[in-house]
Amino acid sequence: MSDSIRRFSTKQVIEHLVLMVLFIALSVTGFPQKFLSASASQAIVNLLGGVGVTRLLHRISGVLFTALVVWHLAGALISIVRRRGQLSMVPTKKDFTDALVTLRYYLGLSRTQARFDRYDYRQKFEYWGLVFGGLVMVTTGLVLLFPVATAKLLVGQVIPAAKLAHSSEGLMAFLAIIIWHIYNSHLSPDVFPFDGSIFTGRISRERMEKEHPLELERLEGTKEGAPRGRG
């Protein structure tokens, strides 16, 4: 595999696979509860063994998702404290200028393409949306999982508010994954019909040159070149 480059670690590959499985499990068990009157929801609930089993599976998936979020954030924090990790996901001024450069390029107003490092502004936006959305789901999920304990500590109105926030955030996350993530990862002309780098951990050098030239230059110790134009 001399023409490919290691892009994701084994830990990152496993985290993504676990997240993908849990997201599917939470969606399959969560939406039938949100739209219980729909015939499709009733069919799914019956297939899973009833409302009680569906709720149990949803809660188990939620607990595992919470553990995954804590594991990921703790690992990232420890890496930063030990100075082993890079702040490659932190938005910078360059991300805003890259977004403007990309917009001008797509509109045909410029022949210059933005040159990205390890992650571009779209990937950072998606990542932080997942992090903050995940924290909302975890927090509201714990409130709904322990309503009695919550009512003893906070006002009772927190529980229905948490239910609404949990349901709405779940729907928003589902739409973001279906519309935004699936398109960028599988339907975009640059990667169609499938981008398997997050599953294999490797990416072709050709794609690195095109999508992450600054990272490639840093890995190979070459000097940053001039911005690329069309053709």
pLDDT tens per residue across span 184-230:
888 877 777 788 889 999 999 988 999 999 999 988 886 544 444 43
Residue 192: partners with Cβ closer than 8 Å, 6 or more residues away: 186
Identify whether 26 is part of a domain.
yes
The type of residue at 86 is Q
Identify whether 187 is part of a domain.
yes
d(CA 82, CA 156): 42
Res 226: pLDDT = 40
Res 222: pLDDT = 61
Res 188: pLDDT = 79
Identify whether 222 is part of a domain.
no
Total domains, the chain? 1
Identify whether 114 is part of a domain.
no
Identify whether 34 is part of a domain.
yes
Identify whether 35 is part of a domain.
yes
Identify whether 172 is part of a domain.
yes
Q: For 79, how many CA atoms within 13 A lie in the half-sphere containing its CB?
A: 11
Range of the domain at 167: 4-85+121-211
Domain CATH for 127: 1.20.950.20
Res 63: pLDDT = 97
pLDDT under 70: residue ranges of the chain: 1-2, 85, 222-231
Identify whether 51 is part of a domain.
yes
